Amino acid sequence: MPEFLHLISPADALEIILDALPQSWAAGIEVVSTSEAHGRVLAERVTAPHPLPPFPRSTVDGYAVQAKDTFGASGALPAYLRLIGEILMGKTPTIEVRPGEAAQVHTGGTIPDGADAVVMLEDTQLIDNSEIEVHRAAGVGQNILLEGEDVQQGDIVLEPGTILRPQEIGGVMALGMTSISVAVSPRVGILSSGDEVVPPEMDPGPAQVRDINSHTLSALIDRLGGNPILRGIVPDQHDALFEAVKQSHHEDDLIIITAGSSVSARDITGDIIQSLGKPGVLVHGISIKPGKPTILAVADDIPLIGLPGNPVSALVVGALILAPLIRRFLGVRRVLPIPQVPAKLSVNVVSQAGREDFLPVRLQKSEEGTIAEPVFGRSNLIFTLIRADGLVHIPSNATGLSAGTEVMVTLFSSEL
């Protein structure tokens, strides 16, 4: 296999690997407790089993009335209504409001028959236990939530592919659905290769470094909705790496191999991927910084990503490729815009035409607004990202950005 096929844009690389995946590469379905479904992807359509609200409710504390009895009412010329009782919370009303009558009702309480409006408590004056003054007119339907105003029985309220946020969890619970069908999270096997790499709990010896990539990528995959499977550290030996990748290929839905994707003589990742199945390596080299020597492949319907060993490269490119792959597996239909912050670049930044750069920046407030200060550092320095608040994308048609340029900063707290 050649060391590099040719450099292509990140967008083209992503399109190639997505197009190579079969329709069958998709999540199964499992039923989970709704209270534990936050962040999961809905697998089946949700239809309302009953209207919501299930009965007409008051939105304020006040008095249920017939609106026509309050027309023209003011502080100088109030309307007088006979108080016939109180609607107790959680109880079905046993009284009916007739012309000239009012019934006390609380926020969330049921509207009694005959009433078509609620006068706010502060717009009334209690004369005695049998009569009230109304100082402001109420229109028909005022301060009332109608039955089914939110959803009607039989309405489709959620479609498959919806990412379940807190509001979706609340809505499903309001319909009495305490369990829900969601897409099974993809198993993402993570292999870290390198003779110099040791587990974080070990004291590194001479020329050794602790494994960073397995843990940064695991955290990223978890945030993206995947199930990270840490498959350990594999030495730079063909047979050892082949056996580890082969096992992951049998058991996982997606495989990530860090290190072993550079142009060095010890590059064996591509050869191993080629031996696992067709079509094999699709991309070897992306016009991006950091992360140029990335491998994208599909072997017998299982996608594989070979990432550089440098932790900054692995995390930036991993997020760029993993997010759409995991969304595809889970069947996510609607992708929300990634939160970004506008800022002005503090200094001139040099870039290379034909390559997309992702520049770590730190955000600072000033009298001129938000300033993006570049955090310069090599791609093997993890604290380059730790010191930064987000990334600035420099497009491939730019040779750099001037100080003062308005840029959009993708925050690390969001999807990269």
Domains defined for the chain, CATH in brackets = 10-27+185-330 (3.40.980.10), 30-52+151-183 (3.90.105.10), 57-145 (2.170.190.11), 340-411 (2.40.340.10)
Q: What is the pLDDT of residues 50-105, one digit of tens each?
A: 999 999 999 999 999 999 999 999 999 999 999 999 999 999 999 999 999 999 99
- Token pair belonging to 352: 């290379």
Residue position matching structure tokens 């991927």? 273
What is the C-alpha separation between 305 and 260, in angstroms, rounded?
11
**pTM to 2 decimals?**
0.86
Neighbour count for residue 154 (Cβ, 10 Å):
11
Q: What is the pLDDT of residues 183-197, one digit of tens each?
A: 999 999 999 998 889
62 phi and psi angles, rounded to 5 deg:
175, -140
Sign of the alpha-carbon dihedral angle for 113, 115, 121, 126? negative
Q: What share of the chain is helix, strand, coil (3-state, %, to 5)?
A: 20, 35, 45
Which residues on adjacent β-strands are paired with residue 306?
257, 295
Lowest mean pLDDT among 138-142, 225-229, 379-383, 403-407: 379-383
What is the C-alpha separation between 179 and 157, in angstroms, rounded?
16
Contacts of 66 (CB under 8 A, 6+ apart): 97, 98, 99, 101, 114, 115, 116, 117
What is the C-alpha separation between 19 and 116, in angstroms, rounded?
58
Give residue 338's pLDDT.
81
Helix (H), strand (E) at residue 324? helix 311-330
